[in-house]
Amino acid sequence: MAKKDYYQVLGVEKNASDADLKKSYRRQAMKYHPDKNPDNKDAESKFKEVQEAYAILKDPKKRTAYDQFGHAGVDPSAQGAGGAGGFGFNMDDIFGDIFGGGRRGGAGGNRAHRGSDMQYNLQMTLEQAVFGYSAKIKIPVSSKCTECNGSGAKKGTSPVNCTTCHGQGQVQIQQGFFSVQQTCPHCQGRGKIIKEKCHKCHGNGNTTSDSTLSVKIPPGVDTGDKIRLAGKGQAGANGGPAGDLFVQTVVEDHKIFDRDGANLICDVPINIAIASLGGQIAVPTLKGRVNLKIPAGTQSMKVFRLKARGITPARGGSKGDLLCRIIVETPVKLDNKQKKLLQDLGDTLTATGSKNCPQESSWTDGIKNFFESLKQ
């Protein structure tokens, strides 16, 4: 099945900025996160698509390769793709297409193989992401079966060499002028046959169980950051080392603050009296309240910057700021006295014109000139 367009998966345009990608990814990841959609296979599938799309588009080199060549430009199965931006032919794939198997030398099935890496998506609050904390996570991990010591054979027995490939895991196939090696169809490349399987692992050699791990989340992480736990992934095969576990952080939306890199953004509503006359108000930070001085004549959408009240990035760098965006609120549900006061104020403002309301006066003059130009 053809993969979906990564930009469509994230719901952004092809020229989307890094900030737009990150914002859309965070929204989609929260929407389809498995913790919010238990036993929902469709949501799980969409969550994986979102993860894959963001992993490619957030990397400038991979994004360029994807824009030029589509999915082929970032396909890890193509030699040279994604890394140096080139493409190569994999001879194993070519021979596999022709003869049904790859060119593999030696008893590949008997060699030690590193276990697969795993990824865990950890949701956290903004406060936890900013200040760091110790998280407890439960993951399913595979480990060597204690009953058969990883052999997969019934206790007291052992696997025996495959009679087809004689323990090599590969067989020679003659095709015209070519003589190639192919994975043994009898033992599937393992080189061994288990006549009596272990009752505990059913011949797999590994068993799966839940494991609770403690993960130290450093201060300043953001959505998409990964923490590597070496050797905490899936168990290896034939004595190989275990893979790694990558804990990827997903920061929840906050009721008060928006995050923009190291900066925090907060909307601060004020009434028209404070906006007009000025005053002092209390605004929130992640460490408590601070006072903010509002100058007289402050307009809506004016932004005040509180230095070093933001976030110290986990990867280093200067601490961000808190950006307070002023929202001048129009009063509602006025009583008669308040209405009278505002009416009197409105009359005086109309009389003074540009002195007290320069933007309104300028806009009115502009409209007047516009209509006069239409008459000419």
> Is residue 297 within 8 Å of 276, Cβ to Cβ?
yes
Question: Cα–Cα distances in Å, from 180 out to 104, 164, 231?
Answer: 9, 16, 36
Domains annotated on the chain, with CATH: 102-249 (2.10.230.10), 253-330 (2.60.260.20), 335-376 (no CATH)
Q: What are phi and psi of 53, to 5 degrees?
A: -60, -45
Q: Which pLDDT score is estimated for 219? A: 96
What is the predicted pLDDT for the residue at 81?
36
Q: Can you tell me the distance from the alpha carbon of 290 to that of 273, in angstroms, rounded to the nearest whole number?
A: 21
Distance in angstroms (rounded) separating the CA atoms of residues 272 and 349: 14
Can you list the residues of the chain whose pLDDT is less than 50?
Answer: 77-108
List Cβ<8 Å contacts ≥24 apart for 45-49. 47/121, 49/4, 49/9
DSSP β-bridge partners for residue 282: 291
Helical residues (DSSP H) of 185-271, grouped into ranges: none
pLDDT at 177: 55
Give dist(CA 357, CA 34) in Å, integer.
53
